[in-house]
Each structure stands twice: as C-alpha cells, then as structure tokens.
Amino acid sequence: MDITSLGGNLLGTIPLGDIVLYLTPFHLFMFAVVLIFTFLIAISRTETQVEAEFGTLKENKVSIGLAEFKVRRFLAIICGLATAGAMITGDLFNLTLFIALIGIVNVGIVSAVKQVDVLDAAYQYGIMAMISSLPLFGGASIILAATGTLSLFVISGLVATPMMIFGAILLLIGVAGETGIAPFFATKAEMFRTPGSPFLLIIHLSSLMVIIRVIEVLLIIVT
Amino acid sequence: MVTLVPEVVPAITASLYLPALYVAILIGFIGLTGIAIQKRDIHILILTDLVGLAMLIVVAAVGTDLAEALILPGLVVELAEIMAISEILISREMRKAENSVPKDRTITEKPSVFPLPLSLDMEIMKTAPNFIALVMILFGAFLTGFTGGAVAGGGILFYMMCKKARGLPVFVVEGIGAISGISWCLWIVGFVLFFLAPQYWLLSLFMAACGLVLKVASKLGLIGSILTEEYRRE
C-alpha cells in the first residue's frame, strides 16, 4: 500500500544510502506520545503498590527500595526510548532491533523483584521472547531475501510476492511473542503483580504502540 | 524491479538459500519439540538457545552485507536474553531456597538449579596459564578487529582466572575501563575518517581495527577482573 494513504502526507525523506527513512504525521504523533509518556515516567516517584486484600476491607502496601527503583526506572526509560524509536523508524531492520530491545527490557524491569511468582512469570516471558526472536529476525531476513532491501519506503512500491507475505506472517508472530500480546499474554500477566506501577504501564504502552506500528508496517509490506 | 542476485554470484551459491532455510526451520521445530517435552527449567533454557541458533541460520542464509549486519545484533540479542533469563532463574532458585521449609520436613519442590560457587580445578590452569594467555594475546593482536579482541580478551580472562587475581585495586579496574573508552573513541574516529577523507582509508582502517581490538580485549579483561571476585568465593 502507498505509505501516504496509511500515515498521511509525506513530510520528508532522509536518504541514508540504500535505507531511506521517511516521516509522516502518523509516525511523528506516535513518537511524540511515547516520548511524553517516557518523560512522565522519568520524573514520577511511585515506588509503592497498594494491593486490595482478598476477603477483608484492608489493603496491603508493598514498596521497594530506592536502589532497585532507580535501576528499574532506568530500564523503563530505555523501554520508552526503544518504543519511540520503533515508532519513527522507516527501516525494517531497526524496527526488528527495537522490538527485540523492548522484549529484553521488559524482562529486565521485573527481574529485580523479590517474589518467586513474579520471577517465574518473568522467566516464562523471557523464554517466549527468546523463542520468538526466530520468527522476528527470520521474517525480517526473509523479506530482505525476497526484496533485496530493508527500507519500507522502497518495499511499499513493490508488488507483494508469496515469500514477502510469508515473511510478514513470521514477523507478526515474532512481534506477538516479543511484546507479549494476545496469545502469549498469559506469560506476562503475572508480571503485573510487581510493585512499582509506572514501569508496568510502560510495558503495556510499549506493546500497544508497537503493535499499532507493526500492523502499519505489515500493511505496507503485504498490500 | 530490483535484481536480487548479482551476476557475479555463482548459481550454486544462490541455490543454497532454500535448503538453508529448510534446515533452519527444521532445527527450530526440533528445538520447540524439545522444549515441549522437557520439564526442567535449565534444559528448557538451553533448548531455547538452539531455537535462537536457528534464527541465526535464517539470517545467515541471505548472505549479503545487510544480512551480515543483522547477524551481529541478532547474536547480541540472543546472548543478552539468555544471560538475563539465567540470572532470573538463579535469583528465583535462591529465593526459593531461602523460603523453603526446614530440612526435617519433606521438601516437596526441589530447586531446578543450584547456584554454586564455580571451582575450576584443571591441570592446565596451574602449569601453563602464562604461555596460553601470551599466545592468545599475540594471536589476537595478529588478527585485529572484533575477533582478535575477543581472542585477546579471552587470553586475559584465562590468565586472571588461573592466577587467582583477588582484590584488584580500584585504579587497575578504572584504568582498564579508561583504555576501553579511549579505544572506543579511536574506533569511532576511524569510522568518521572513512567518510570524511576516503583517501586516508588505510589509516582509518588501522585506527578502527586497533581501536576495536583494544576495546573488546579490555572489555573482556574488565569482565574478568570483576568476575574473579565471584569465582574465587568459596
């Protein structure tokens, strides 16, 4: 599909040799949203989590130390920046790498928790993220083999071949596993019990934004 | 229309793409089957790495410069993920061991991995560490580039593990870090010079290669100097 019908008017291109990056209002809007959210996370100080207790009207406060909090906030900022990068890149290769980075950092955000259940869930999610790097990178490299380029600007002008569609399907599976959306969400659900709410919001937000962007990319490749 | 395969590539090389792809998919399938069968966490982790290797085969099958540029990040992602997950596994097992019931009761759930201090007791580590480290560093300097740095760094790492370098003073660690940083700058400057002044390509090539070899070697050495504290803890 033509990129201008998906993302609005073409604001400009950044030619970097073979790889041509391009800017549309859609990408810039998503980029700005993610950056604003990352900034909010960077300045927020919510290290306490309030849990409702089952069976009573009381509530349970769980808080974490400042050192652990700092590390996790740093990882959350990295996750936000990676998401912002995935929003604006016009290169399949960079998109793949940013998504892989989001997968690793999501594991890292919850890895310092002192609860066995949460660590268990993080382990399962990490295994899923590692397995799904096969379809993720495999899909990108199959599209590279089928078209000879990784630039979405160039790919949008090509007619889709069965191999490109196969690569796009693999890419979708890889992104689904890496960001933990619908079929793999069960691996991630337990991770949300960890204290420190803004970090969990960035996990949610990154998977949401990335899936919107990836659907756009898949439409560019397939149609 | 883009021509996918250039004229200079022989037909047999181009025809190898599909077999490589099938092999990779087969390896991935075998790995996933293994993961489905295995029940111990550590085995699942190792089999997951097998699936990651299948990913590298898929990327490597393309065989162009762009694919080569994809392989290295893919490898790094794979390494980072396996290190992160194994750390999670270890920390979970330690926490389980802390929270477990006392020994006189029946232990219902055994920990999957035991985090033990690593004690290496090999003959070669007492008799020939100097020689092997020297050979590896010299060979690394001869190779230059990323590979050479890795070989030389491996030599430094091996020497530090053999010689029980314990309690290194802070300025040594910081000095190794400084070498790493400065050689990183050398590498970057070499690359920039490539684009700005292509006629000095030999100079920039050597700057980049030497910067990279120093950087990787010192980084591995740095890891060694930090890790020896952990390794020697009995």
CA–CA distances in Å: residue B29 to residues A156, A171, B35 = 32, 17, 10
d(CA A76, CA A200): 9
Burial state string for A204-221 with b = 16 or more CB within 10 A and e = fewer than 16: ebbbebbbebbebbbebb
B154 half-sphere exposure, CB direction, 13 A CA radius: 13
Look at residue A51 and give its three-state secondary structure.
Answer: strand
| C-alpha A17, offset from chain centre | 27
User: ipTM > 0.95?
Assistant: no
Q: Residue B234 has what pLDDT?
A: 44
- Least Cα distance to B155 among B230, B226, B224, B83 occurs for B224
Length of chain A: 223
d(CA B30, CA B22): 12
- Least Cα distance to A28 among A11, A16, A14, A3 occurs for A11
A97 contacts B89? CB cut-off 8 A: no
Q: Which two tokens stand for residue B80?
A: 């980072």
d(CA A93, CA B69): 9
Considering A51-55, B158-162, B208-212, the range whose residues carry the highest mean pLDDT is B208-212
Cβ-Cβ contacts under 8 Å for B125 (sequence gap 6 or more)? B161, B162
Just give the CATH number of B9-101: 1.10.287
Query: Which one-letter DSSP state was computed for residue A151?
Result: B
Cβ-Cβ contacts under 8 Å for B55 (sequence gap 6 or more)? A133, A134, A136, A137, A138, B24, B28, B74, B78
Nearest to A144 among B66, B81, B99 (CB): B66
Nearest to A134 among B4, B52, B91 (CB): B52
pLDDT tier for residue B68 given thresholds of 50, 70 and 90: confident
Q: Is A122 part of the contact surface with chain B (CB cutoff 8 Å)?
A: yes
Picking from B46, B85, B96 by the largest number of A CB atoms within 10 A of its own CB, the best residue to mutate is B85
Encoded amino acid at A157, one letter: G
Q: Does B30 score more than 80 pLDDT?
A: yes
Length of chain B: 234
Q: Which two tokens stand for residue A87?
A: 């929003």
A123 contacts B21? CB cut-off 8 A: no
The residue ranges of every structural domain in chain B are: 9-101, 127-229
Least confident of A19-33, A66-80, A194-208, B14-28: A194-208
A61 phi and psi, to 5 degrees? Answer: -100, 130
d(CA B81, CA A32): 29
Q: Is A201 part of the contact surface with chain B (CB cutoff 8 Å)?
A: no
Rg (CA), chain A: 19
Q: Which two tokens stand for residue A180?
A: 């933990």
**Contact status, residue A88 vs residue A23, Cβ threshold 8 Å:** yes
Instruction: For residue range B169-225, list pLDDT tens digits in order.
Output: 555 666 777 788 888 888 888 888 888 888 888 888 888 888 888 887 777 766 665
**Contact status, residue A138 vs residue B58, Cβ threshold 8 Å:** yes
d(CA A79, CA B97): 32
Q: Residue A5 has what pLDDT?
A: 67
Q: Residue B70 has what pLDDT?
A: 80
